[in-house]
Amino acid sequence: MFIDHIDHIVMTCIDLEATKRFYTDVLQLKLEVFGENRFALRFGNQKINLHQYGKEYEPKAHLPVPGSLDLCFISKLPLDMVITQLKKSNCPIVEGPVERTGANGKIRSVYIRDPDLNLIEISEYLK
């Protein structure tokens, strides 16, 4: 098994402001702004990136709907070894490797889809 832990989740929402208020006021998660005016909700060593329905960032879920989630896993192995394993498994890479912002800093990622076309990001931390 090369997956170590979840780095972040992407959540699609209808009303970005209402979602931010609920998670910061009710659940007391910390609001974080990153990239070009993107929003995330931080807790512990994880975060939830927010996408507004109809204005999702690429890459995104196959059919993003409010309440849908995408997952980002951190690999125990270097990403190049993960890419080799994905190719051996005949699993197409949708995008990457690309540099992104993870819950705990810069990451290098590839994107794949599971059998239900959910977007799965597999990453390694950049030093």
Q: What does the pLDDT look like over 26-53, one tens digit per residue?
A: 888 999 999 989 999 999 899 999 999 9
Strand partners, 120: 71, 112
Cα 39 to Cα 23, 35, 113: the distances in Å are 12, 9, 24
Note whether 76 and 2 are within 8 A (CB).
yes
Note whether 68 and 87 are within 8 A (CB).
no
For the chain, percent of residues with pLDDT exceeding 70 = 99
Query: Tokens standing for 93?
Result: 């890479």
The domain in which residue 76 lies consists of 3-125
Which sign, positive or negative, has the C-alpha torsion 49, 53, 54, 60?
positive
Query: Tokens standing for 6?
Result: 């979840």
CATH number of 83's domain: 3.10.180.10
Task: Indicate which residues carry an active-site annotation.
Answer: 121
Give the pLDDT band (50/70/90) at residue 86: very high
- Average pLDDT, integer, range 102-115: 92
Residue 123 has pLDDT above 80, yes or no: yes
Confidence (pTM) = 0.82
Number of domains in the chain: 1
Give the pLDDT band (50/70/90) at residue 63: confident
